[in-house]
Amino acid sequence: MNIVNRLVFSLPVVAIDSSGGDDPREVLLGLAEWSFKEIPYLEVESAAEGVRALLDGRAQAFVSAGNTKEVVRAATRLGRIKFQPPGFDRPRGIKLPIALELPTEMDEKHFVLCDAGGSVDVDEYDLVTFAHAGATYFRELEFNPHLRVRVGILAIGEGEEKLRRIDRECLELLKNVDSFELVGGVESYQVLAGEVDVLIGSGREGNLALKGVEAGVVMEHTILRQEFARGFGSRLTGFAVKLIGHRAFARAKARLNESRFAGGILCGFEHENAAIFICHGRSSADDIYDALDRAYRWGDAAARMQATLKEELHKYHPDWFSSLATGAPHAP
């Protein structure tokens, strides 16, 4: 085998679910474009097959635009981080949140939404793990393991009275954590203004917030097109704006469609090879291409992030793991 072949075969392999997404043709188009990079990839036909490729080492990352529930269910084979809070009679596994990087109104400023749709029913202990997962991911994105991250809980208003019981209990469990700053309950406008680095909530709440932001962007574009088409004067104004401001529009589009927003990473695994990226079901070919690129570049970082998450949970919540480590009898 010549040196070129050795180099190619040493590259990380990304598995891609070619049958996933609302329109699998878009997935195949994105995959076809990716193939021109001459980087090895593995085409699979289901989430289960993609996870098997991670387990047996045939792939170092897995990308899917398929059904999130199926991907999360298949991913449990990689082993969830187990913990046992005081008062629970048996261990439980992390709910596997999706950590998704999203833009804000501030130039070059982003935040991490955790969970973006991986779980529905959560309690205060799950929210605690989401806070650590989101903060760990944000620090990895910033290439700064010691960064003090600002963490907020998605709420319907400011003030403690707007928080649910589980939100307040989550904050209580996190009060002694010094690796990030607790902002408390925050509303969507505060997040988009860049006032927090990590926003946590259940997968249902996070997914609704995400779809709300997406719908707002689409509605704004639609209203602008309608107004610029309203009569000759408006069409002339629209043409002039497009002609003069095309660079500004291009920059704005790029800020909303950077490759780093193409897919969220699934968090909370014991397995060392657990880089799973979940894309939107309506992902375009460009989105799939960007997700493949992200997974290819982030395989090692994803594995490091999973290990760091487990270390942080052990450090700040040792009572959750004491019975697991010592083999002590289960709490009544």
pLDDT band per the 50, 70, 90 thresholds, residue 223: low
| pLDDT above 50: residue 137 | yes
**pTM, whole model, 2 decimals?**
0.84
Percent of the residues in the chain that have a pLDDT greater than 90, as a whole number:
44
Query: Cβ-count burial of 123 within 10 angstroms (0-12 exposed, 13-18 middle, 19+ buried)?
Result: middle
pLDDT at 245: 54
Provide mean pLDDT across the span 306-324.
Answer: 91
| Nearest C-alpha neighbor of 267 from the set 124, 107, 95, 139 | 95
- Give CA–CA dist 79/273, Å, rounded: 11
| pLDDT above 50: residue 331 | no
Each residue's pLDDT tens digit, 162-215: 788 999 999 999 999 999 999 988 888 888 888 999 999 987 876 777 666 666
Each residue's pLDDT tens digit, 98-110: 999 888 877 778 8
| Nearest C-alpha neighbor of 65 from the set 28, 91, 110 | 28
Q: What is the mean pLDDT of the chain?
A: 82
Range from 8-12, 140-144, 166-170, 204-208 carrying the lowest mean pLDDT: 8-12
Collapsing DSSP to helix, strand or coil, 64 comes out as strand
pLDDT at 109: 82
Task: Give whichever of 150-159, 244-253, 305-314 has the largest mean pLDDT.
Answer: 305-314
The 8-class DSSP code of residue 66 comes to S
Task: Give whichever of 38-52, 151-165, 240-254 has the largest mean pLDDT.
Answer: 38-52
pLDDT at 141: 87
What number does CATH give the domain 1-94+268-311? 3.40.1400
pLDDT at 304: 87
pLDDT band per the 50, 70, 90 thresholds, residue 7: very low
Q: Domain segments of the chain: what residues?
A: 1-94+268-311
- Give CA–CA dist 64/236, Å, rounded: 43
